[in-house]
Structure 1
Amino acid sequence: MLSKRNAVLLIIVSSLLISVNGFMLRSIDSANEWQVIFCRQVFFTSAMLLLLTLQYRSQLLRSFLRVGWPGIGAGIALGLANPMIILAMTHTTVANALFTLSASPLITAVLAKIFLREPLARTTLVAIAVAMAGITIMVADGLGGGSVLGNLLALLCALFFSLFVIFLRLGKERNMLPASVLGGIISASIGLIGAGFDYHLELHDGLICLLWG
């Protein structure tokens, strides 16, 4: 079990990694958003499969079966969240998308209150109100600037990431890494279909997706 200090450290690190998304996406030369989604998730899923194979070897299939319905739910939530952040940054500014995505921990707190019966602090309620007000202003702004779709996609992404965390908590007694493989397969499938099954990328774009994945 992680200590509170380590958990906070992981949250900080994950936030820094998420902030790199905009830079990586803007570094793509010619690939469209669907091709980026597909290629990135192929690399991610391959890496996770390799890690799980080294860890479980002949018990690999059993490790997937052990995650149960929380693992399936987590995989579906992650599989829907990953494409949406790319699509959100395509249809609105990176700043808007990442600001909206930053509401994910607050949404998670609300869902944890509903589904896990965890207490909700008054300061968290205030933070939720402030964040929702900011997101509402951005979405309203987007109605005039054509970025409303991107803002809504970012909000959906935050919701699905929050659901992913809730499912992980429900399956906390199990190794839930296989759920990330399921999520990667779902995301890659969405990207491949969206790209019209055209998965060919230039070397430059492929290397960025490899690093990003």
Structure 2
Amino acid sequence: MTDSLDSTDTLAHGAADPVAERTLGIVLVSASAVAFALTGVLTKSIHADPLTITCWRGFFGSILITFYVLWRRRRSGGRESLRLGWRGWLLAVEGAAASIAFISAFKFTYVANVAVIYATSPFIAALLAFLLVREKFRLQTMLAAAVSLCGVAIMVGGGLGSGHLFGDGLALLMTTGSALYMIMVRAFRDSPVVWAGAVSAFLLFVLGWFVTDPLAVSTRDMVLLATFGCSFALASILWTEGSRLIPAAESGLLGSAEVPFAILFALLFLGEIPPMASIIGGAIVLCAVFAHAGRDWMKAKSAGP
């Protein structure tokens, strides 16, 4: 998901009621989780190959996110720089690579598998942060990571011989890439993260334009591709605005709702029922994720404003 711009201006700027502001934040972040959860259904519903999908998703998404960034910049009086620098470009390239793996994974395995494996990204990020920058690894995070790893092992093990192992591998690769992206965002605090996301999406459009035949898509697929790009941009914008209004722990907890929504949408729109190994492994991972996020939320709540 997209981190917020470094700006103190919010949609609820000047609001006198903190309760109303918090409620708006909860609604926006929850809505972003629902929009992000459509990724699996849309990817599987489009007949085009993964690179063509990322091409058009990047095209429509980059345009809308660019309009949003320019709108934010105008509201802030031009204080927000659009200069990427090498750090911003590194974020854009790394994000583009993770997106390709993300979209491709849905083509080769169950939506539930990709969604659940992706849910472990905070734990992988914590592990990578410990290994790369010696960031403190909390005991509760270590325990939750160990439990979620067991769940992923059960899920991936159930895919052996079923033809879904490649997709599960892509999901693990994408999750590792996303975890690395989280670390880079924290390390490159001065970089315009949302703008880097727009550039990343446009890079995917350029790549797809030269290595695939993006115009060789049906009218049906083009409509779905435009919808996909718009939902991606909408989810990013909702998350950016909503996460400004509520604590980070609460944003993380609400964002975790993306996983069950993705599985539910796959069941409702695709009739996709994952095998028992995926259900058991997924349940273990979700318990670890929600317990970890819930504990952080309770701790932040007890600490007060």
Any unmatched runs of 5+ in structure 2? 1-5, 9-21, 230-305
Q: Deviations over 1:149-169 (max 9, x none)?
A: 100100111111112211111
**1:201 is paired with a residue of what secondary structure?**
coil
Q: 1:118 aligns with which of 129, 135, 146?
A: 135
1:28-177 correspondence to structure 2 within 5 Å: 28=46, 30-56=47-73, 63-65=81-83, 67-177=84-194
**1:35 is paired with a residue of what secondary structure?**
helix
Whether the 8 Å contact between 1:83 and 1:191 is mirrored in structure 2 is: no
Is 1:199 aligned to 2:199, yes or no? no
Whether the 8 Å contact between 1:92 and 1:150 is mirrored in structure 2 is: yes
Q: How many residues align?
A: 205
Q: 1:192 to 1:63 in 2, by over 3 A?
A: same
Whether the 8 Å contact between 1:108 and 1:166 is mirrored in structure 2 is: yes
Q: Higher helix share goes to which structure?
A: 1
Any unmatched runs of 5+ in structure 1? none
**Residue 190 of structure 1, CA deviation:** 4.0
Whether the 8 Å contact between 1:75 and 1:164 is mirrored in structure 2 is: no
Q: TM-score, normalized by length of structure 1? A: 0.80
Alpha-carbon distance between aligned partners in 2 of 1:170 and 1:193, rounded to the nearest angstrom: 32
Is 1:24 aligned to 2:42, yes or no? yes
Whether the 8 Å contact between 2:88 and 2:192 is mirrored in structure 1 is: no
Q: TM-score, normalized by length of structure 2? A: 0.58
Whether the 8 Å contact between 2:117 and 2:175 is mirrored in structure 1 is: yes
Match of 2:226 in 1: 210
**Residue 82 of structure 1, CA deviation:** 1.2
RMSD value, Cα = 3.0
Q: 1:130 to 1:193 in 2, by over 3 A?
A: farther
Identity of aligned residues (%): 26
**2:160 is paired with a residue of what secondary structure?**
helix
